[in-house]
Amino acid sequence: MSTLRVDNLTTLSGNGIAADIASVSGAQLSNRNKVHNGDMRISQRYGTNAHTPSTTTRNYVIDRWAYWSNQASKASVQQVTDAPAGFYNSAKCTSLSAHTADSGHWFGYLTTIEAQDIYDLAQGTANAKNITLSFYVKSSITGTWAAAVRTKPGSPSRSYPFNYTISSANTWERKTITIPGSTDGTWLTGNNEGITIWFDLGTGSGFHATANQWYSGNATGPSASPFIAVNGATWLVTGVQLESGDIATSFEHRNFNDELTRCQRYYEHSYNYGTTPGTAENSGSVMFLTNRNTGTAHTMLRYVVRKRSTPTLLSYSPTQTDTTGMRDLDNSTTYNYTMNRNGETGCTAYPTGNLGLGYFIQFHYTADAEF
């Protein structure tokens, strides 16, 4: 007869052994977290550089996470190494002015989970499962903050607004909330928007709704978070996890390559990791020759990962900073370009213009299939 000796027993979540056993017995051990890049490690677009969104569309800074406001240039977003124990990175938002939001202004930091990744949650059906959101947060401002879990904005949409409290300034705190399954509403399918986690940063009253219940409409929280109203305010987040069930388990850490591959379904580039697109850099660029008889040139570009949908493409000169186009290395000319036959797995790319015979053409690219 064999005996198993246990000298040290450590809980997974800090909720106690019984809670961890309950969570494991009722849920899967891996792929629990529906959120991609919840620990803010992957940052292909800007690396560790701060970015101030100057447009009113979703601005993706850290992979799979967007700052979104209809008021431009009010905040910056940056990947930083200020993080709680067990994490290396977080996303840091900094308010750039003291802005008074009217009822129609929105400010948020968000991520959207693809619809086909939440089929098991059965939202919008009689079998809808409860879900639990957990995250680590830190801010220079204490008090009541707002957030929401929601479907795609539009008609109809479903939102679950809630508040959370930051008790101590500039101190990491873990927050959890369990959300009852939504048994009605229109939930999209396939590669469309499934669930969006919206961390509010000061949205106006036109997007507020009663806390802790599903709402048929586009709500960002029960109230406005205090961030955007205070010049220089900071708000940081990491360790975001959304999972099935009533218990917040420990954050599911995935290896770097696994997380990067998940993110590349939505965005990739040809530069070395850590190099900002638009940098004058040859490494990793695509190179091909023009035809020696006609001067025409085409190349087939295959994406590293199949994209969520047909991506938006940009081509950059590898020898010039922030210059779109394809570079002719033989006569030092940058040409406009065409990318056609574009699909989820690749496209055909070629320069346009009067090309020399047998010349080398070189370019970098970005492929964006985010929501």
The confidence score (pLDDT) of residue 29 equals 78
Give residue 155's pLDDT band: very low, low, confident or very high (50, 70, 90).
low
pLDDT, tens digit (0-9, with 9 covering 90-100), for 205-250: 999 999 999 999 999 999 999 999 999 999 999 999 999 999 999 9
The confidence score (pLDDT) of residue 3 equals 44
pLDDT, tens digit (0-9, with 9 covering 90-100), for 264-321: 999 999 999 999 999 999 999 999 999 988 888 889 999 999 999 999 999 999 999 9
Report the alpha-carbon angle 68-325-42, nearest 5.
40
Spatial separation of the C-alpha atoms in residues 300 and 311, rounded to whole Å: 15
Per the DSSP assignment, residues forming a β-bridge with 145 are 164
pLDDT, tens digit (0-9, with 9 covering 90-100), for 259-277: 999 999 999 999 999 999 9
- CA 239 to centroid of chain Cα atoms: 13
Task: List domains and CATH numbers for the chain.
Answer: 17-264 (2.60.120.260), 286-368 (no CATH)
Question: What integer is the mean pLDDT of 137-164?
Answer: 93
pLDDT, tens digit (0-9, with 9 covering 90-100), for 105-118: 999 999 999 999 99
Question: What integer is the mean pLDDT of 62-74?
Answer: 98
- pTM for the structure as a whole: 0.92
Q: Between 30 and 366, name the one with better pLDDT.
A: 366
CB 189 within 8 A of CB 171: no
